[in-house]
Amino acid sequence: MISKTDCISKLVFFTVLSFWIHYSTTAVACTRIVYKGPDETVITARSMDFSLDIPANLWKFPRGLQRHGEVGPNSITWKSKYGSIIASSWDIATVDGMNEKGLVANLLWLVESEYPSFDKNGNYKGLTIAAWAQYVLDNFATVEEAVNNLSKEDFVVVTDFIPGTNKFTTVHLSISDPGGDNAIFEYIGGKLVIHHDPSFTVMTNSPIFEEQLAINKYWKDIPGTIMLPGTNKAADRFVRASYYINAIPQTSDIKIATASVFSVIRNLSVPYGISSETQPDLSSTQWRAVADQKNKLYYFESVLTPNTFWIDLKKVDFSEKSGARMLSVDKGEIYSGEVSGKFIRKDPFVFQGL
C-alpha cells in the first residue's frame, strides 16, 4: 500500500520533473559560477555559449571615460570611476569583465526577459543593454553599492535586436565582489527583479533565477556522487554547477583553487560544434573567462586556440591619461602567460544602441 506521504512525494517529484523538462528544452547555454575558499579567496568563472559566431576581444578601459547610454536624447551619461578589463561581443557590447576593485560582471542569456517600454523622446532616462555590465564596472566597487544604486531605477535598460539577426537581446546580469557577495538582475514582466545574497553563486539561463533555485532545491536531496542530470541544457547545468563548485577542494593554494574552478567551468561547457535542428538554441561554448578577485587576475581562453592566458590588473595603468587599449582575440590569435603588456592603444568601441 502506498502511503499519503509517498503519494505527495511522487507528486512533487513529477511536478518538478515536468517543469525541469519544459524549461530544459528551451534554454540557451551559458554558465556562471563563484568559488569561495579560505583566506578570502573568491573566483568567478563563466562560459560564453552561443548559437552564432560571437567574436570577442579584450579591452582595457581607464578611469575618466565619458560614457553615453546610446538610446537617444534621453540617454544617461556618466564618467567611469574605475578602470576595467572586459570581454566584448562584436565590439558593440560588454558581456564580461572585472574592474580594478575586483567587482565582476557577467551577462547571460535569459529568454524570459521582458523590458520596460521606453520612449527615447520622453522624460525617463535609458541605457542600452549593450552597456549594462559596463555601467556597473565603471561605477561600483562592491555588490552592495551596485544593488543600492540600481534598485533606485533612475533609468531603464533598453534592448533591441542583435544587428543583422532576428535575435532580440534578452539577458540577465550577475555580479560578484572580492568579499563574496553576489547579486543577479533580471527584467521580468517589465519590472526589475534583484536577487541579492552571498549564496547566489551559480547562474545559467532559463528559467528565471527564482525558478532555478527551486529546481536546485529538489536536486539537493539526491547525492551528487550517485546521480546528476547530464545534458547540456540550462537546468541540468545549474544543478551540476551547484554541486561541483561546492565539491572541489577548499584550499588557500591559489593555483589549485584556480585549476579546480577551471575544471568545473570546462565540465559545464558544451563541446564545440554541437548543434541540434530541433533545439536551435543549444549552443557551443566559444570562450571561457575566470576572474581571481583576490589577486586581480583575469584569465581567458578561446576554444579555437590551445592556450589559456591572463591579465594581471595590478600591472595595468588605469589612469585617465593611459587611454583605452585592446587585445585582439577574435582572429584566433595565440597568447601565453601574462599579457597586460600586449594591449594596443585604440579608441573605445561605441555601444550598440537605438
Q: How many CA atoms lie within 13 A of 253 on its CB side?
A: 7
Closest-CA residue to 251 (of 45, 40, 103, 44): 40
Strand partners, 78: 67
Sign of the dihedral defined by the CA atoms of residues 20, 15, 278, 90, in that order: negative
Cell 513529477 belongs to residue: 14
Q: Is 7 a catalytic residue?
A: no
Please write down the HEC assignment for all residues of 119-180. Answer: CCCCCCCEEEHHHHHHHHHHHCCCHHHHHHHHCCCCCEEECCECCCCCCECCEEEEEECCCC
Which of 28, 30, 108, 313 is catalytic? The answer is: 30
- In what helix (H) or strand (E) does residue 42 lie, and over which residues does it extend? strand 41-50
Give CA–CA dist 61/211, Å, rounded.
Answer: 35
Q: Are strands 325-328 and 297-302 parallel, antiparallel or unpaired?
A: unpaired
DSSP 178-201: TT--EEEEEEETTEEEEEE-TT--
Give CA–CA dist 41/242, Å, rounded.
Answer: 18
CB of 79 closer than 8 Å to CB of 66: yes
Give CA–CA dist 254/185, Å, rounded.
Answer: 29
Angle between helices 209-219 and 234-247 (to 10 degrees): 60
Peptide bond just before 163 cis, omega within 30 deg: no
Helices and strands: H and E segment counts in the chain:
6, 20
- Enumerate the active-site residues: 30
